[in-house]
Amino acid sequence: MFDPSKFIDESVEKLREDIDGKAIVATSGGVDSTVAAVLLSRAIGENLLSVYVDTGLMRKGEGEQISKTLDQLGVNYEIVNARDEFFSALKGVVDPEKKRMAIGAKFIEIFERVAKGMGAEYLVQGTIAPDWIESGGELRDTIKSHHNVGGLPEQMELKLVEPLRDLYKDEVREVARELGIEVSERQPFPGPAMAIRILGEVTPESAELAREACAIVEQEIERAAADGEMELPWQYFASVLNVKSVGVRGDIRAYGYTVVVRAVQSIDGMTASYSKIPHEVLDRISIRVTNELNQINRVVYDITNKPPATIEWE
């Protein structure tokens, strides 16, 4: 079986061997990148800078959460506000692969900028196995380009270090628990964030809509799980579909978008089955989404496993 403490010892040692000088670590506040940051800090201490990029695409309340997480970790960090840069890079882009590539490239551009500023030669990422597997290459088909793999330029100035490449989420969580990391149980969240939970063009407005829809789904499911109504799924969220349908709101015809609720059970993200959420919970989600979000006319529940679907819609 997997031995997290052995893994920690071996990776810290390897990071010490691999990194000679300063390094930045790409941080999102999630489990993978936080584990990477802690391992790195054990290996090289003060020589690391944790960089969080505010893309404008993160979840509700993420901004406040991240500085708390980083403060607790006690590592040097910098928060880069890049909202405008991301929205302008995504302007007019609707193809999911192009979105992912644009986001990956933008991340790297920012990391290179920050690294140059402090004289760092290494970029450490919390890339895990499904990221590079699904990104494809050579014989392996590209299912989706993960932002931390597919967006990398061919000629990269920074040397890439990925200590978690061979781990899946369940194993990263074991390492996180062993390291005493508070976010160890946080649900997975994709690097491109809300950009891939909006089918169609990403704008500040559509990002806000997806963010609100996700927040409602998270709140209702977490409450239901806490009350013992259901098991907490492995991952649960909403996506906004660019499918319009007719409705009636206050005796007036409405023509609005669709929100899809997605919740799955998985261990490693490589196979997943949709969660059998009680209808009462779905009902509460549906009522809140359609009442609180004016542009949403219809809520549907995704009952597809992976394969053939993937967990996220894009």
- Residue 147 to residue 68: CA distance in whole angstroms: 25
Annotate 131-170 with DSSP letters as a single string: HHHHH-BTTB--S---HHHHT--SS-SSEEE-TTTT--HH
Query: Which residues make Cβ contacts (< 8 Å) with residue 142, sequence separation at least 6?
Result: 97, 134, 135, 136, 150
306 binds other proteins (CB under 8 A): yes
92 binds other proteins (CB under 8 A): no
Nearest to 295, CA basis, from 200, 176, 218, 192: 200
303 binds other proteins (CB under 8 A): no
Q: CB-wise, 245 or 271, nearer to other proteins? A: 271
The answer to whether 39 and 8 have CB atoms below 8 angstroms apart is yes
Q: What does the radius of gyration of the chain's CA atoms come to, in whole angstroms?
A: 20
Interface residue with other proteins among 138, 154, 227, 251 (CB under 8 A) is 138
Nearest to 213, CA basis, from 144, 121, 290: 290
What is the per-residue binding string for other proteins in 98-137, x denoting contact by CB under 8 A?
A: -------------------------------x---xx---
Q: CB-wise, 143 or 226, nearer to other proteins? A: 143
Least gap, CB of 304 to other proteins (angstroms): 8
85 binds other proteins (CB under 8 A): no
**Interface of this chain with other proteins, residues 145 to 184, rule: CB under 8 A:** 166, 168
**Interface of this chain with other proteins, residues 222 to 281, rule: CB under 8 A:** 266-268, 270-273
302 binds other proteins (CB under 8 A): no
Q: CB-wise, 71 or 231, nearer to other proteins? A: 231
Q: CB-wise, 168 or 237, nearer to other proteins? A: 168
Burial class (CB in 10 A: 0-12, 13-18, 19+), 218: middle
**Which residues sit at the interface with other proteins, rule CB under 8 A?**
1-2, 129, 133-134, 138-141, 143, 166, 168, 266-268, 270-273, 305-308
